[in-house]
Structure 1
Amino acid sequence: MSLFWRIFLLNAAVFVAAAAVLMLSPATISAPVSSAEVVVVLVGLMAMLVANLVLLRIGFRPLGRLIRAMTSVDLLRPGASRPAVSGHGEVAALISAFNAMLDRLETERATSNARALSAQEAERRRIARELHDEVGQSLTAVLLELKHVADEAPGAVATSLHQVQEITRDSLDEISRIARRLRPGVLEELGLASALKSLTVEARDHAGLAARCRVDGELPGLDDSAELVIYRVAQESITNATRHSGAVHLDVLLRSDEHGIRLRVRDDGRGIGEAPEGAGIRGMRERALLVGAELTIGDAPDGGTEVLLHLPNRSA
């Protein structure tokens, strides 16, 4: 039955009931209307309105649940509970169509995110290669030429040239560090555990954090995409802790058990609080979706921020 006819029949039921009460009751209306008769009419009208309100509220209750689901849905958190298909006719069809639309949107978003992140990684590799092969080699050539000139220059000029050498060498080191962040060669060459330890060493050396990394359990064989997601989530978490949290201590834990792999990055900074999620956190969520992982970001038990990534064991 369509929504139109349901509403019509609900109202008709109220009017029929009111007419039956009017015909069967001893109440009469005279002209002019007495005050007692006005009270009876008003009471009857209020009863009709209340009955109509209750019946319509019951009829529209499934639409209310649908509206709440529509306002709270987040495609970065897929698999959220869908509104139960209830009601009749158009209402049930509308809820079913909404649930089907969410399924399609989540599938299409996952596919498009996979393509976008794959293109992003390819672009990062290209930029890292150009930094290393072109800019890095050019600066290396400049260093060699500066050394040659400084060896033949008089004392004061040689001192200045040595200072320029140190600045150029620092710039070369910074370019190499940026290239490593863009293209984690240590991940490809030494594996995930070594790559995470390298991130904490870099946090200690360049940001002054008291950072440590622990790996519990034997890591199972992961495909390249899963390793890259874990690495990028850890990298972004450490970057956020370094730049925004004001943290002093940083702890990275990678644990493997029968339930899967869990990554935890915890700092003792100011915490995330009520701050809106930025592009970095949204990027982490999108990466987690690619491998079916669950990402949780919130306040740590003792203050600071805690990032948890759980990659379930699909074979369990």
Structure 2
Amino acid sequence: MGQAETVKAGTGLPLYWRVCLINGVVFLLGTVALALSPATVSARVLVSEAIVLVFGLAIIVTLNSLLLRNSLAPLDKLIRMMEKVDLQHPGQRIPEHDNGAVGHLVKSFNEMLTRLETERRMSNAKALAAQEAERHRIAQELHDEIGQSFTAVLLGLKQVADRASADVLPEVQLVQEQTRAGLEEVRQVARRLRPGVLEDLGLHNALVALSNDFAPAGLRIRRTFTPGLPELDSDAELVVYRIAQEALTNVARHAQANSVELSLTRKGNDVVLSVKDNGRGLRGQPEGAGIGGMRERALIVGGDLELTSGPTGGTEVRLTLPTEGSR
């Protein structure tokens, strides 16, 4: 049996015994070569004999290192992957080429990543579903309880204003306006918590209403919607709406921008949401909880979220969603 066949025969052995086998084969070959060669060693080693010994040792070490490298190189790839793997960017895998112990380790690692990504996606989906249910409950309570309370106060203030004297009337009217403003704020919060327009009128109208809500913040929003987009399921539509909502909120709070481009377009069989502002840009700042939440939502529906910032400022949040035609 040749050297390569001997090593190949041991690929099913544990890693420790594979290393021992490789070393044993190399040393055996070196011993056989020395035994069959005419070279001899004197009591006092001559220079020529020392050169032969050094040359033979170099061949043995080189051959041994090459064989070990071929067997253990996947371990280096595995270590590098373990150091940089990020479950928010799924699909990272190590190529599987070996059927031995190292190959089995690589295969097990890839299978573990698949399980982790699946479990993470399922747990995030459950968490976000619970979050949406809680948003719905809070919005309902705001509308039914707080909203009705404000409405009752307004009706009472109207009766007071009808009977108030001229010197008290301005103060009553001021309280009326403050109460009416408070009621409108409650309604806006309820709409942001539960996008009823998304269920009633569809994604395009929901995005239009959402952008209109940010007009009082001084943002000039230009909308671009491509007609005839591939149909998205309810979960995907909700993800698009929530990511657009979070992106616009970040622009209004942090970007120091006055212009935003909101678009929902088609790229091949994918649907692409883009929110691009002319603000100060990311400036190397770490991602906060809001961006992390957007990434989690994108992963749930198999989407990809990218954040880019231009050299002179401005930030683009870009969500790419696959549809049935692209899967």
TM-score between both structures, scaled by the size of structure 2: 0.84
1:182 is matched with which residue? 193
2:69 is matched with which residue? 57
1:311 is matched with which residue? 321
Residues 9-60 of structure 1: per-residue CA shift (max 9 Å, x gap): 22123323443454436352536x7888777766655554444333322221
Q: Which amino acid aligns with 1:26?
A: A
Q: Does 1:217 align with 2:227?
A: yes
Tell me, in whole angstroms, the C-alpha distance in 1 between the residues paired with 2:38 and 2:179. Answer: 102
Q: Does 1:90 align with 2:104?
A: no
2:134 is matched with which residue? 123
Q: Which amino acid aligns with 2:188?
A: R
Q: Does 1:70 align with 2:82?
A: yes
Among residues 164, 171, 184, which one is paired with 1:173 in the alignment?
184
Among residues 11, 36, 45, which one is paired with 2:23 in the alignment?
11
Among residues 204, 217, 223, which one is paired with 1:193 in the alignment?
204
Tell me, in whole angstroms, the C-alpha distance in 2 between the residues paired with 1:208 and 1:242. Answer: 8
1:315 Cα deviation after fit: 3.4
Pair 1:216–1:301, CA change in 2 (3 A): farther
1:196 Cα deviation after fit: 0.7
Superposed, 1:22-171 pairs within 5 Å as 22-23=34-35, 24=37, 26-28=39-41, 30=43, 45=57, 48-78=60-90, 80-171=91-182
Contact 1:248 1:268 (8 Å CA) reproduced: yes
2:254 is matched with which residue? 244
Tell me, in whole angstroms, the C-alpha distance in 2 between the residues paired with 1:301 and 1:210. Answer: 22
Residues 177-221 of structure 1: per-residue CA shift (max 9 Å, x gap): 11110001121222111111112212221x211112121222344
Pair 1:265–1:302, CA change in 2 (3 A): farther
In structure 2, stretches of 5+ residues that fail to align are 1-11
Runs of 4+ in 1 over 6 A off after TM superposition: 33-40
Pair 1:162–1:38, CA change in 2 (3 A): farther
Tell me, in whole angstroms, the C-alpha distance in 1 between the residues paired with 2:54 and 2:178. Answer: 91
* SS at 2:97 equivalent: coil
In structure 1, stretches of 5+ residues that fail to align are none
1:172 Cα deviation after fit: 1.6
Contact 2:87 2:117 (8 Å CA) reproduced: yes
Superposed, 1:262-273 pairs within 5 Å as 262-273=272-283
Contact 1:271 1:303 (8 Å CA) reproduced: yes
* SS at 1:304 equivalent: strand
Tell me, in whole angstroms, the C-alpha distance in 2 between the residues paired with 1:138 and 1:183. Answer: 20
Tell me, in whole angstroms, the C-alpha distance in 2 between the residues paired with 1:81 and 1:179. Answer: 40
Tell me, in whole angstroms, the C-alpha distance in 1 between the residues paired with 2:260 and 2:208. Answer: 12
Residues 116-151 of structure 1: per-residue CA shift (max 9 Å, x gap): 211111110100010111111112222232333344
The more displaced of 259-268 and 105-114 is 105-114
Q: Which amino acid aligns with 2:64?
A: N
Pair 1:14–1:273, CA change in 2 (3 A): farther
Contact 1:217 1:256 (8 Å CA) reproduced: no
Pair 1:35–1:273, CA change in 2 (3 A): farther
Among residues 283, 286, 291, which one is paired with 2:296 in the alignment?
286
Tell me, in whole angstroms, the C-alpha distance in 2 between the residues paired with 1:88 and 1:50. Answer: 24
The more displaced of 304-313 and 68-77 is 68-77
Q: Does 1:274 align with 2:284?
A: yes
TM-score between both structures, scaled by the size of structure 1: 0.87
Count of residue correspondences: 313
Contact 1:271 1:299 (8 Å CA) reproduced: yes
The more displaced of 62-71 and 207-216 is 62-71
